[in-house]
């Protein structure tokens, strides 16, 4: 699923992962300083448009990924409206004797939308960046030691294997009469029972992969060449300019309305 | 100068009393094709790792003696130097890659060598072409089938183009069709290139024609035989069997004929040589194609009895994909059934349906006439024993004894009954010395036995096993199969998923074959082996011994003609 979009031939997928990572961090940092609801709303709309138009990701898919985050955002609104740090004065209506004020609603929406911006930008990064490219980018441009980079890749490959193995262990324990426990203590016991075979398997796998990598001449050093170079291209320039343009127009609009 | 020179090499792992390799001295010349034989845990893989210097560089072990590869000591040479001299193809297809796509994986080794991009490009192209995976260039290495993964593993090595390749049981986890493809690739490699090849392998029948030398290690890690394959398999056969090493079926059969009076002008290693040898004596298979006289084994003579397991129109879908389609069959009490099918044909799914680990979309399953939907896990457990492919997955207790008692406790055994029953199981499965040990600390064979023993909570009628001989050596496989046969004779019905056609031939009274989601065949194995068309469709292979037995029969028949 994820891989399908990561490999999609869109504009965002061509942008250097490092640049995308940096822009993600900047957006998050910038949003922390914003308290009105309009700016995050604009960013949410723009980001969805970017994902759809420049990432080629269908709105349905974006919506699906965003659903859990939206619930999270709604809970923000809810909390801020009902239990505000400082209740506002402009009372809109009463909810079971609790006054709901315009100020609190706006702050709530601002906070909720802000969390959506974080979610959307993380999505933008995850959905349009192949892990391999990210790793290569970090190794080639950010001085990440190859030992960690390639080690992480090997570990990443194991995620589906682990899921598969966990399912097998659960089935095996189930058939031996170990029901899935509901009590806290029972769950803890269960966790321990699953952990041992899973860990035993993981250690063995890790050891084998390490040996296989070493037998192919991997020594973790920087003395290596790269088949895929993560280079800076015109895409990155365009992406950077596009972001600047967006920031500029938001600032302008903010100056006019907020 | 020999390309591999080993002088009095001994290796001992930490916390172990005995050496895995003891005083090994060998010289291997450039271009030799060597087969390394020995019992499991007998130091074959250790030798491979010592040759490439990974032992003791990265895998801790105490190493004595001297190893020289092209005159270089792997302990002193760096990882980079050694990886250009020796390549290893490992057993487990899932744990030898670290990148996500085929091309990146092949490139990985070349990047480590520091090759320029254009050179990498051409090497990637040619190695993919050699192994027949060019069309999968951008595929994720995780999506590939086991057979393709091992081809990719080989492609990685061919791209690096080392002078020496060690092939450490690369087909151990593959189904028969994929194994055959892999062997034909390796055979091409052996005939066309002048690389030194060191095979660690136990599916020997297809390989022998390409081997120039056999080296045998015993369970103490000593070299006990070293010579041409014809010599080893003719004169050292007993020793190999005693060590618990797989022996080529053909050589076993040739020896059997010898004992019946056959004198081979040249002891056969291939079916062609076999035919030639018998041809010299005027014996050919054409004389005796009458199959009716092949004796049925005693265990196949169980009379048709009441149906135990009845499947009716079972359909199963996984994430909207159809995995099993309209499967119906009945298994009678007392049968020994082998469930066959290529990887991905739905065998594991089917057996999981039988114990309610999965639920069918349509259809019914009855056990002893009762719908299994109506049975609780406990009742089901009382009637069906289920043994998983990986024994470790089903261990739930900290000692062997507790592990055995666990299932019995659930069924409400009293402490006294428990003591007796556990004692019996420990004895029968040869686990008495380990009763206090943690199941995870046992050897492969012991783990397997424990997992079967722990499943036998008492009076189950049906025992289901999902590839129980997977990864087991000859001795353990035989021990397990004899145990199953014994249980079967005591009246238990056995349903076993397997790829091993020799086991099917030797032990099964019935085969059920799945092919592309459907039931392809149910019936006697002897008859299935006759159906060449079905065999091909199911990606199965007729067992070697089936053919050899016919020859044996032809020989004895002609023998009578000669005597009388």
Which of A140, A155, A175, A201 to mutate: most B Cβ within 10 Å?
Answer: A175
B362 touches B312 (CB < 8 A): no
CB burial readout B334-364, b (16+ within 10 A) else e: bbbbbbbbbbebbbbbbbbbbbbbbebeebe
Asked if the C-beta of A226 comes within 8 angstroms of chain B's C-beta atoms, the answer is yes
Q: Could you list the residue range(s) of the whole structural domain that residue B433 is in?
A: 298-548
Phi-psi region of A57 (alpha: psi -120 to 50; beta: other; left: phi over 0): beta
Worst-scoring range by mean pLDDT, B262-276, B291-305, B456-470, B498-512?
B291-305
Mean pLDDT in residue range B480-490: 91
Residue B556 lies in a domain: no
CB burial readout B431-466, b (16+ within 10 A) else e: beebeebebeebeebbbbbbbbbbbbbeebbbbbbb
* Residue B294's pLDDT band (cuts 50, 70, 90): very low
SS (H, E, C) B342-380: CCCCCHHHHHHHHCCCCCCCEEEEEECCEEHHHCCHHHH
What pLDDT was estimated at residue B286?
A: 65
Which of B49, B169, B392 to mutate: most A Cβ within 10 Å?
Answer: B392
Mean pLDDT in residue range B487-498: 92
pLDDT 10s digits, B12-59: 999 888 899 999 999 999 999 999 998 877 789 899 999 999 999 989
pLDDT 10s digits, A98-137: 888 888 888 899 999 999 999 999 999 999 999 999 999 9
Helix (H/G/I), strand (E/B), else coil: B168: strand
Whether the pLDDT of residue B288 is over 90: the answer is no
Whether the pLDDT of residue B409 is over 60: the answer is yes
What pLDDT was estimated at residue B563?
A: 44
Helix (H/G/I), strand (E/B), else coil: A94: strand
Q: Between A161, A197, A226, which is nearest B392 by CB?
A: A197
Contacts of B388 in chain A (CB under 8 A): 168, 171-172
Asked if the C-beta of A198 comes within 8 angstroms of chain B's C-beta atoms, the answer is no
Q: DSSP assignment of B24-38, as one string? A: EEEEE-TT-EEEEE-
What pLDDT was estimated at residue A124?
A: 94
Residue B268 lies in a domain: no
Q: Between A130, A208, A216, which is nearest B95 by CB?
A: A208
Phi-psi region of B104 (alpha: psi -120 to 50; beta: other; left: phi over 0): alpha
Worst-scoring range by mean pLDDT, B226-235, B344-353, B541-550?
B541-550
Contact B394 A172 (CB under 8 A): yes
Helix (H/G/I), strand (E/B), else coil: A20: helix
Q: Is the dihedral of CA A242, A243, A244, A249 positive or negative?
A: positive
Q: Which residues contact A124 (CB under 8 A, 6 or more apart)?
A: A12, A20, A24, A47, A50, A51, A55
Contacts of B87 in chain A (CB under 8 A): 215-216
Whether the pLDDT of residue B293 is over 60: the answer is no
Structure tokens at B79: 């990882």
B56 preceded by cis ω (within 30°)? yes
Do B325 and B215 lie in one domain? The reply is no
Q: Between A132, A177, A207, which is nearest B104 by CB?
A: A132
Contact A201 B92 (CB under 8 A): no
**CA nearest neighbour of B427 among B401, B407, B451, B402:** B401
Contact A176 B381 (CB under 8 A): yes
Do B491 and B354 lie in one domain? The reply is yes
Strand partners for B384? B462
What pLDDT was estimated at residue B309?
A: 93
* Residue B1's pLDDT band (cuts 50, 70, 90): low
Distance of CA B504 to the CA centre of its chain: 13
CA distance B165 to chain A (A): 11
Residue B291 lies in a domain: no
What pLDDT was estimated at residue A54?
A: 94
pLDDT 10s digits, A138-168: 999 999 999 999 999 999 988 888 888 898 8
Asked if the C-beta of A214 comes within 8 angstroms of chain B's C-beta atoms, the answer is yes
Residue B266 lies in a domain: no
What pLDDT was estimated at residue B296?
A: 42
**CA nearest neighbour of B42 among B247, B249, B244, B248:** B244
The CATH number of whichever domain residue B67 belongs to comes to 3.40.50.300
Contact A177 B378 (CB under 8 A): yes
Contacts of A161 in chain B (CB under 8 A): 94
Mean pLDDT in residue range B397-408: 89
Q: Could you tell me how many residues make up chain A?
A: 258
Asked if the C-beta of A159 comes within 8 angstroms of chain B's C-beta atoms, the answer is no
B265 touches B274 (CB < 8 A): no
Do B375 and B502 lie in one domain? The reply is yes
Contacts of A224 in chain B (CB under 8 A): 111-112, 114
Mean pLDDT in residue range B60-71: 93
Helix (H/G/I), strand (E/B), else coil: B311: strand
Do B27 and B175 lie in one domain? The reply is yes
What pLDDT was estimated at residue B470?
A: 78
Structure tokens at B467: 């590839």
CA distance B562 to chain A (A): 58
What pLDDT was estimated at residue B463?
A: 94
Whether the pLDDT of residue B175 is over 90: the answer is no
Distance from C-alpha of A201 to C-alpha of A208, rounded to nearest angstrom: 11
CA distance B196 to chain A (A): 17
Distance from C-alpha of B94 to C-alpha of A161, rounded to nearest angstrom: 9
pLDDT 10s digits, A161-201: 888 889 888 888 888 776 666 788 888 888 888 888 899 88
Quote the mean pLDDT of chain B.
Answer: 88
Structure tokens at B186: 């390796």
Contacts of A229 in chain B (CB under 8 A): 117
Give all strands (DSSP E) within A49-106, no chain letters. 91-95, 98-101
Last residue of a domain, one of B179, B212, B243: B243
B79 touches A218 (CB < 8 A): yes
Distance from C-alpha of B324 to C-alpha of B318, rounded to nearest angstrom: 9
Strand partners for B338? B496, B511
With a pLDDT cut of 90, the percent of chain B lying above it is 46
Residue B282 lies in a domain: no
B19 touches B64 (CB < 8 A): no
Contacts of B377 in chain A (CB under 8 A): 174-175, 177, 179
Token pair 């985050």 in the structure block, residue:
A69
Token pair 């059934």 in the structure block, residue:
B337
Residue B553 lies in a domain: no
3-state helix, strand, coil in chain B (%, to 5): 45, 20, 35
B337 touches B496 (CB < 8 A): yes
* Residue B203's pLDDT band (cuts 50, 70, 90): confident
Do B440 and B538 lie in one domain? The reply is yes
Distance from C-alpha of B495 to C-alpha of A127, rounded to nearest angstrom: 45
What pLDDT was estimated at residue A179?
A: 66
Q: Give the predicted TM-score (pTM) of the model.
A: 0.86
Q: DSSP assignment of B326-340, as one string? A: EEEEEEETT-EEEEE
pLDDT 10s digits, B320-341: 888 899 999 999 999 999 999 8
Q: Which of residues 94-153 of A touch B (CB under 8 A)?
A: 130-132, 150-151, 153
CA distance A163 to chain B (A): 13
Q: Between A153, A165, A229, which is nearest B98 by CB?
A: A153
pLDDT 10s digits, B88-147: 999 888 889 999 999 999 999 999 999 999 999 999 999 999 999 999 999 988 888 888
Residue B221 lies in a domain: yes
Whether the pLDDT of residue B444 is over 70: the answer is yes
Quote the mean pLDDT of chain A.
Answer: 90
User: What is the ipTM, given to two decimal places?
Assistant: 0.86
Contacts of A196 in chain B (CB under 8 A): 395, 440
Candidate ranges A34-43, A79-88, A122-131; pick with highest mean pLDDT: A122-131
Do B211 and B350 lie in one domain? The reply is no
What pLDDT was estimated at residue A122?
A: 94
What pLDDT was estimated at residue B94?
A: 87
Mean pLDDT in residue range B348-369: 91
Residue B292 lies in a domain: no
Domains held by chain B: number: 2
Distance from C-alpha of B80 to C-alpha of B83, rounded to nearest angstrom: 5
């Amino acid at each position: 699923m994820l891989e399908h979009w990561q490999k999609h031939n869109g504009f965002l997928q061509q942008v250097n992962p490092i640049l995308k990572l940096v822009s993600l961090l900047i957006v998050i940092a910038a949003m922390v300083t914003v308290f009105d609801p309009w700016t995050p709303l604009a960013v949410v709309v723009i980001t969805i448009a970017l994902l759809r138009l420049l990432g080629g990701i269908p709105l349905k898919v974006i919506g699906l990924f965003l659903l859990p985050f939206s619930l999270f955002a709604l809970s923000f609104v809810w909390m801020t409206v009902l239990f505000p740090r400082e209740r506002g004065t402009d009372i809109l209506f009463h909810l079971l004797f609790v006054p709901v004020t315009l100020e609190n609603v706006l702050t709530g929406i601002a906070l909720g939308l802000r969390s959506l911006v974080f979610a959307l930008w993380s999505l933008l990064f995850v959905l349009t960046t192949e892990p391999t490219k990210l790793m290569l980018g970090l190794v080639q441009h950010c001085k990440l030691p190859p030992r960690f980079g390639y080690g992480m890749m090997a570990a990443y490959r194991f995620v589906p294997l682990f899921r598969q193995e966990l399912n097998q262990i659960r089935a095996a324990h189930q058939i031996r009469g170990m029901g899935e426990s509901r009590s806290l203590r029972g769950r803890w016991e269960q966790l321990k029972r699953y952990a041992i075979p899973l860990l035993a398997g993981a250690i063995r796998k890790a050891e084998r992969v390490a040996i296989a990598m070493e037998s192919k001449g991997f020594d973790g050093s920087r003395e290596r060449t790269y088949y895929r170079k993560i280079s800076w291209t015109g895409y990155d320039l365009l992406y950077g300019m596009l972001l600047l343009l967006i920031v500029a127009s938001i600032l302008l609009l903010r100056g006019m309305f907020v | 100068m020999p390309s591999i020179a080993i002088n009095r090499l001994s290796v001992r792992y930490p916390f172990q009393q005995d050496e895995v390799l003891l005083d090994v001295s060998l010289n291997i010349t450039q271009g030799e094709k060597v087969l390394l034989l020995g019992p499991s845990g007998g130091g074959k893989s250790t030798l491979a790792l010592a040759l490439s210097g990974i032992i003791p560089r990265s895998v801790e072990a105490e190493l004595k003696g001297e190893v020289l590869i092209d005159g270089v000591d792997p302990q002193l040479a760096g990882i980079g130097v050694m990886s250009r001299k020796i390549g290893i193809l490992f057993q487990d297809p899932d744990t030898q890659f670290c990148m996500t796509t085929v091309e990146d994986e092949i490139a990985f080794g070349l990047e480590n060598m520091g090759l320029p991009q254009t050179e990498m490009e051409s090497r990637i192209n040619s190695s993919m072409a050699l192994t027949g995976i060019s069309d999968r260039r951008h595929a994720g290495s995780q999506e590939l089938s086991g057979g393709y993964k091992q081809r990719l593993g080989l492609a990685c090595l061919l791209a690096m183009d080392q002078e020496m390749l060690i092939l450490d049981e690369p087909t151990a986890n593959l189904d028969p069709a994929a194994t055959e493809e892999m062997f034909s690739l390796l055979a091409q490699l052996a005939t066309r290139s002048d690389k030194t090849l060191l095979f660690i392998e136990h599916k020997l029948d297809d390989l022998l024609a390409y081997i120039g030398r056999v080296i045998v290690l015993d369970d103490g890690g000593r070299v006990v035989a070293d010579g041409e394959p014809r010599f080893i398999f003719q004169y050292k056969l007993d020793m190999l069997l005693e060590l618990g090493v797989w022996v080529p079926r053909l050589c076993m059969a040739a020896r059997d004929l010898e004992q019946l009076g056959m004198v081979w002008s040249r002891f056969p290693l291939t079916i062609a040589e076999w035919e030639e040898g018998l041809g010299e004596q005027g014996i050919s298979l054409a004389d005796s194609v009458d199959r009716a006289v092949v004796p049925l084994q005693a265990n196949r003579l169980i009379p048709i009895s009441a149906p135990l397991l009845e499947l009716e129109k079972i359909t199963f879908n996984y994430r909207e994909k159809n995995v099993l389609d309209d499967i119906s069959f009945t298994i009678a009490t007392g049968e020994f059934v082998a469930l066959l099918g290529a990887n991905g044909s739905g065998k594991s799914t089917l057996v999981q349906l039988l114990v309610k680990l999965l639920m069918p979309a349509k259809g019914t399953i009855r056990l002893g006439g009762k719908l299994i939907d109506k049975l609780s896990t406990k009742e089901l457990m009382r009637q069906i024993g289920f043994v998983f492919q990986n024994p470790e997955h089903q261990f739930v207790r900290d000692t062997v004894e507790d592990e055995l008692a666990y299932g019995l406790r659930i069924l409400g055994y009293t402490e006294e009954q428990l003591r007796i029953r556990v004692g019996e199981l420990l004895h029968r499965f040869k686990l008495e010395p380990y009763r206090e040990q943690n199941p995870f600390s046992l050897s492969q064979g012991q783990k397997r036995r424990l997992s079967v023993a722990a499943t036998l909570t008492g009076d189950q009628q049906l025992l289901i096993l999902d590839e129980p001989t997977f990864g087991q050596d000859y001795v353990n496989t035989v021990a397990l199969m004899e145990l199953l046969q014994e249980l079967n004779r005591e009246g238990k019905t056995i349903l076993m998923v397997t790829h091993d056609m020799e086991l099917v031939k030797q032990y099964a009274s019935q085969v059920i074959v799945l092919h592309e989601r459907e039931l392809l065949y149910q019936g006697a194995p002897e008859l299935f082996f006759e159906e060449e068309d079905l065999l091909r469709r199911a990606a199965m292979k007729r067992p070697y011994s089936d053919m050899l037995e016919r020859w044996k029969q032809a020989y004895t028949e002609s023998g009578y003609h000669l005597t009388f």
